[in-house]
Structure 1
Amino acid sequence: SWISWFCSLPGHDYFCEVQEEFIEDDFNLTGLSSMVPYYREALEMILDIEPEDESATEAEAQVIETSAAILYGLIHQRFILTRQGMQLMMHKYDQVQFGECPRVYCMQTPMLPCSRSDVPCVDTVRLYCPSCRDLYQPPATRYQHLDGAYFGTTFAHLFFSVY
């Protein structure tokens, strides 16, 4: 599926796979159509629905692919705030897939992805340490262009209040 492919790309292992049922529920997508160009086409791409209009130019196809990535990221931001989303992220957290705090006094505390903004293209992803409560740049360069809005400002704090 497109979702599995997207999550398997280099630097996308911070993402969890959003369930199609969540994406298919219009309530969960409220307000996103005005934020993403070619919204309908991008949504169809994410859900592996063949486009009705096959006449997209090469340039339009490129824009639709970019829009699909942005749309998936914004859907992901909402999904990880749900019980199912948090459970998937908890599994990644337990496996220390987001890395450990570099501070010696934190004794290798696992970190979580977050952002200083919920708006796309404002800030890149940061890693939050629950021990020292500080934010860090991901050490690997493959994450340094990942939009922080795809994890949002709420997730890390909500996660630690639930778990």
Structure 2
Amino acid sequence: MPFNVVEDASTGSDSDYSSTWISWFLSSKGNEYFCEVDEDFILDRFNLTGLNNEVANYSQALDLITDSLDEDIQDELRGSLDVQARLLYGLIHARWIVTARGLQKMLEKYKRADFGRCPRVLCASQPLLPVGLTDIPYEKSVKLYCGRCEDLYSPKSSRHGSIDGAYFGTTFPHLLFLVYPTLLPSKDPETSMHVTGKETNTLGDSRNRRRLREEPEAVTEGGGEGISTASVAMKAERYRPRIYGFQINEIAKLQRWQEAVRDRQIARLEALEEKNP
């Protein structure tokens, strides 16, 4: 696997087991992204539908999370159960944080910028939100989503970077902004440039963009020989926000328009490269 899905279970000492398992898990280093899942949510078996197929020793792992595991269990078995309990809690966590109560708890962490801030200068230290690239465990590590530039970033800490993205899911940050629309960062260049203390020359930027559309020759000036700008542009990837697998309507419309503009520009570049091989 390209990353460690589960942190080493030896993060805490044996004395840590005197407290509840969830409080021990949340206090372990590297688990700062997680919030506490209400016990009532965990005990409602309807909320855990299907997880028994995802986690080995499901019943015992659930007993460990809810502190109802038989104390006479062998220490060796408990060590292996910790791994399964972490996986189970992570998958429950992904379901919990898209509920009304879970969103509220994650909102508090977001307001404190517990997940870090966007490294992009023009985003003016915008707080980030964790997101998964897939809802299937053991495939992709967690990423951080910026609501201003709508791009993804890797966590700075290797501990956080090793967390499975399925523990947060693909829906969470976008549902949060849908439920709390006032939190959606402004795309106004003037508000995003206040850190530099200078106003953005939006008029000049629009003129530059217009000139690039009207004069595609300027794009290739100074380019490396033998490099196809059009092929490079076509390979560029972009993140597509989704809620339960469906693209968000307004963002999807904007992205379709942006891609149409990009496709026209690529067509101009390809025609230009054919004329000047």
For the superposition of Structure 1 and Structure 2, which TM-score range results when normalised by the shorter chain? over 0.9
What is the distance in 1 between the residues matched to 2:117 and 2:54?
34
What is the distance in 2 between the residues matched to 1:69 and 1:9?
12
Q: State the Cα deviation string for residues 95-119 of structure 1 (Å, max 9, x = none).
A: 0100110001111110000010111
**For residues 2-17 of structure 1, what are the structure 2 equivalents within 5 Å?**
2-17=21-36
1:113 to 108, 111, 130: 130
Q: State the Cα deviation string for residues 89-140 of structure 1 (Å, max 9, x = none).
A: 0000000100110001111110000010111110111000000000100011
Identity of aligned residues (%): 50
Paired residue for 2:147? 130
Compute the TM-score of the two structures, normalised by the length of structure 2: 0.57
Aligned residues: 161
Paired residue for 2:60? 41
Letter in 1 for 2:141: T
Unmatched tracts of structure 2, length 5 or more: 1-19, 181-277
3-state DSSP of counterpart to 1:113: strand
Shift in Å, 1:50 = 3.0
Letter in 1 for 2:138: C
Q: State the Cα deviation string for residues 60-87 of structure 1 (Å, max 9, x = none).
A: 3222110000000000000000011000
Unmatched tracts of structure 1, length 5 or more: none
3-state DSSP of counterpart to 2:130: strand
Q: State the structure with more CA Rg.
A: 2
What is the distance in 1 between the residues matched to 2:75 and 2:21?
20
Instruction: Kindly indicate which of the two structures has a greater share of residues assigned to helix.
Output: 2
Alignment of 1:23 onto 2:15: no
Alignment of 1:79 onto 2:79: no
Paired residue for 2:82? 65
Paired residue for 2:242? none
Shift in Å, 1:27 = 0.7
What is the distance in 1 between the residues matched to 2:75 and 2:28?
25
Shift in Å, 1:55 = 4.7
